[in-house]
Structure 1
Amino acid sequence: MQGTPRALVGEFARHGGRIDLARAVFPHVENWTDLSTGIAPWPYPVSLTAAATEQLPDPGDLSKLEAAAAVSFGVDPTRVVAVPGSDLAMRLLGLMLGRRSFVFRAAIVRPGYSGHAAMWGAYKPAACAFDDIRLMAPAHDVLALARPNNPDGLVADPLLLEWAALTVAKRGGHVIVDEAFADADPANSLAGSDWPGLIVLRSFGKFFGLAGLRLGFVLAQQDIGTELRALIGDWPISGPALATGLAAYSDAEWQIAQRGRLATASKRLVELLTRHGIAIVGCTAFFTLVSVRHRDRLFVHLAQAGVLTRPFDYEPRWLRIGLPRDERDWAKLDEALSSWRMR
């Protein structure tokens, strides 16, 4: 390991899951516990046949997947478009919506997911806080935000977002709500809302613990869905993702158990961090955001103990910590925090 803590942290501040970089920067660490992503650490069991990888994806299976997802989301299947990951969907939506208006104005709510800023390509969107939505919506064509928010867990008032959607829709605009972490509490989702101008993004990989499958969904009015389907082509979802997604969304019992695991672990994580004197900024069922005076040093300390967390370049005190998978990982995190307090 070379460089100051601040210089080292900067390399990890763009995205979570950089185990490859962690191995290069901290070569003495043999076994990593990755708490940097916010992905559920208990994956849905994957069972694939040879046909899933040997044959072209069946369009009928795509329709079945979208129908099963629609039931899970509580939305009409005609509003559901399966996409190869919600991050790609954001960039396609940015392309689609950006070319609809000669004078295009987009705004993103900050702090938030970095993909919301990147989805517009060369265009630089305006940034605002949640408290500024009432000021920004009347002056913009698109407003993008996460709910619950990443990384602080804030859940925006649905009445405020309904007003914003109706406001921008008067000019043909849209409110994009990224619900990547909404599956833990489906009753609080906006997926079933039929407000004009509302587009909801859902992620498969975070709740089902299978981010590598690259599967997500766009929930929108049919004109958006039709245009999006034309962009992603005839086989947008791989055979393995189709088979696994259909099985997972049809498995209500597993989903209930997963929500229980997330609720129990997220509560335990908050209790653990509080016991070690670490201030909690906010949380979701998938991660907890903390504020630490010497954040960079804590990040490096945890990494040297084999625990990878997620720093942020725009807030020098913040560190996001995901859920440990098993008792070994819980013990590793606990021991690393104990030795930090004794420094």
Structure 2
Amino acid sequence: MLEHGGNLRDAAKRFGRDDWLDLSTGINPRWYPAPQVADNAWHRLPEPDPALTAAAQAFYGAQLMLPVAGTQAAIQALPRLRAPSRVAVSAPSYAEHAHHWAGHGHSMTLTPYDKLEAAVAHNDVVVVVNPNNPTGAEVPAAQLLQWADQLAARGGWLVVDEAFGDTAQHNSVAAHTARPGLIVLRSVGKFFGLAGIRLGFVAAQAELLGELADLLGPWTISGPAQQIAMAALSDHAWQADTRDYLNANGERLRAMLAAQGIQSNGTPLFQWWAEPQAEAFWQHMAERGIWVRLFTQAARGIRLGLPPDDAGWQRLHAALNEWSKR
């Protein structure tokens, strides 16, 4: 199993403390206040609720969507819906994509963002994380749509993972997924801070969504998760306030790092930089009870999410000061 952020039990076991400031995930620390769900949500088998799909289609701007148990479910399943193919996966990016496309008989290559255009001509499937996790890199929507058309002309796919796209909706291609070969993944966990309900959506043409639904099987989304997500996706006032909050705090984090001489990139939900002493920085923070995301492979560096409160910001500022003065 690949390593991911949010693994506080591992942190506690390794460093022997339980007062963690968890900045390792890039998930909104001010999560949507989940409403009380109907009692029968715990009792009935969770048949798909069309109201949930309608709320998602309205929020994401897509014509057709399929609810899935987090984008992870789709990432694991999509490679099983194609015959052996040549696949280019954007790199560095969320490692689960490459991990699963490398199996199931596919020929997978990791492709830097500046080489993706060339990869479109030589592959059957191109996977792009946009905005990228962990670096925050973005490919313009117009460019993605050109690539989707090129791939579709020969039966190929463009898979666009927009899990962190809720703060950059202007660059989403979800509204264009009625065209063949374009598949978009969206997540309720990041922007809404509801990773625990395990819910995401896939936007694509009806035939592909039907094949994916058959593969995933029945009752994939719990009843409580469906009710909570419907409330979150329909709460426009909360969404507007949250975008303002995330934009302001994302800039606050970028500026705090810049004041320490760290030039970072990212999204309103996280910042990343190629830290030359990545392991030492990770160790420094962990010893102070701050859990950050260490990357040691292609995206060698550090990713930080947003602190949840003033006390968290103060702890992070103090730890950064100590790092810069070491």
Q: Same fold (TM over 0.5)?
A: yes
Matched, 1:50 2:35: no
- What residue is the counterpart of 1:224 in the other structure? 208
Take 1:196 and 1:159, find their aligned partners in 2: how far apart are those partners?
16
CA offsets per residue over residues 136-175 of structure 1, 9 Å max, x none?
A: 1122111001110111111102232222111111121100
Matched, 1:319 2:302: yes
Q: Which runs of 5+ in 2 are unaligned?
A: none
* Root-mean-square deviation over aligned CA pairs: 1.6
Which of 231, 234, 239 lines up with 2:223 in the alignment? 239
- What residue is the counterpart of 1:81 in the other structure? 66
Which of 94, 108, 113 lines up with 1:125 in the alignment? 108
User: Do the aligned residues in 2 keep the contact of 1:146 with 1:178 (CA within 8 Å)?
Assistant: yes
User: Do the aligned residues in 1 keep the contact of 2:6 with 2:25 (CA within 8 Å)?
Assistant: yes
Cα distance change on mapping 1:316 and 1:259 into 2, 3 Å? closer
For 1:196, the aligned partner's letter is P
Matched, 1:198 2:199: no
Matched, 1:279 2:266: no
| SS across alignment from 2:165 | coil
Shift of 1:316: 7.4
Take 2:136 and 2:230, find their aligned partners in 1: how far apart are those partners?
28
| SS across alignment from 2:3 | coil
TM-score, with length taken from structure 2: 0.95
Which of 130, 144, 150 lines up with 1:167 in the alignment? 150
User: Do the aligned residues in 1 keep the contact of 2:199 with 2:221 (CA within 8 Å)?
Assistant: yes
Take 1:107 and 1:342, find their aligned partners in 2: how far apart are those partners?
42
Most deviating of 159-168 and 255-264? 159-168
TM-score, with length taken from structure 1: 0.90
How many residues align? The count is 322
Shift of 1:291: 2.7
User: Do the aligned residues in 2 keep the contact of 1:278 with 1:291 (CA within 8 Å)?
Assistant: no
Take 1:270 and 1:16, find their aligned partners in 2: how far apart are those partners?
20
Identical positions, percent: 39
Take 2:263 and 2:281, find their aligned partners in 1: how far apart are those partners?
13
Q: Which runs of 5+ in 1 are unaligned?
A: 1-10
Shift of 1:208: 0.7
- What residue is the counterpart of 1:39 in the other structure? 27
Which of 274, 289, 293 lines up with 1:306 in the alignment? 289
Most deviating of 308-317 and 266-275? 308-317
- What residue is the counterpart of 2:85 in the other structure? 104
User: Do the aligned residues in 2 keep the contact of 1:295 with 1:316 (CA within 8 Å)?
Assistant: no
Which of 135, 143, 149 lines up with 2:132 in the alignment? 149
| SS across alignment from 1:199 | strand
